[in-house]
Chain A
């Protein structure tokens, strides 16, 4: 403690950063939490329609994306270990794998949404309003909002990881200053947790 006082201009506090990140994660959890409440109420009211509409979603694509996110979560968790072990190359490789997996997730999402759009299924489309019931329209509305908001979080997470990789590369993030990598990891795991619930609720109701 005595020695820490010498570096007066060094405003680094890993624990405070972590608390800040967790507080932010709580707001995110409640943001998605409210959407899950809306989903469950509408599903309760429109039971049959939700089952019918969910048939449109491809479980296989959803499962592939789940596996991608779980693996990417592991690689970024591992990168905190390699950073503490002072192995820069492995840290960059692991965060790089996370980055690539995140991009693959988005590419899958792009084709998945693209296929829906081709079938005329998108918010406010003529096909939706003329052919489907109110419950099915609600299902697809929630599907696009929730997976869309999730995809937005993936994009933000990818930007964060890219910044962290640059800072690891230039040596600004290292074993004694790991907070940025650890907090980006926390954010990425949050995105993973949200998908863990989105997947069964949208893809696995048959």
Chain B
């Protein structure tokens, strides 16, 4: 392979990320315990999205990957969002 060295991620960083993920998990449990109506779902999904971002960026090493892999990941999530939006445009306005 090329000379480029793999970036070695320190253990410490993974521990920080895990603490963040656990905190977000407990926060999302706490927030869905309160009745916020339709905001409850939105809140739970927002927490899940932040957690996914952390997992993708640090655990799955996207932070250290080349930009083209990152853009492919963004593209796939964009396809998913478009699918959801189009489906609900159909259901909400039929």
Contacts and interface: CB of A to CB of B under 8 A. Distances in A.
**A-B pairs with the 3 shortest C-beta distances?**
A200-B44, A204-B32, A74-B18
Interface of B: 1-2, 6, 8-11, 14-15, 17-18, 21-22, 25, 28-29, 32-33, 40-41, 44-45, 47-48, 51-52, 55-56, 58-61, 65, 69, 72-73, 76-77, 79-80, 83-84, 87-88, 91
A22 B69 contact: yes
A162 B16 CA distance: 27
Contacts, number: 112
Chain A, interface size category, equals 35 or more
A199 B41 CA distance: 12
A41 interface: yes
Contacts of B22: 67, 70
Contacts of B29: 59, 63, 204
B14 A74 contact: yes
Contacts of A204: 28-29, 32, 44
A74 B15 contact: yes
A192 interface: yes
A37 B83 contact: yes
Nearest to B69: A22
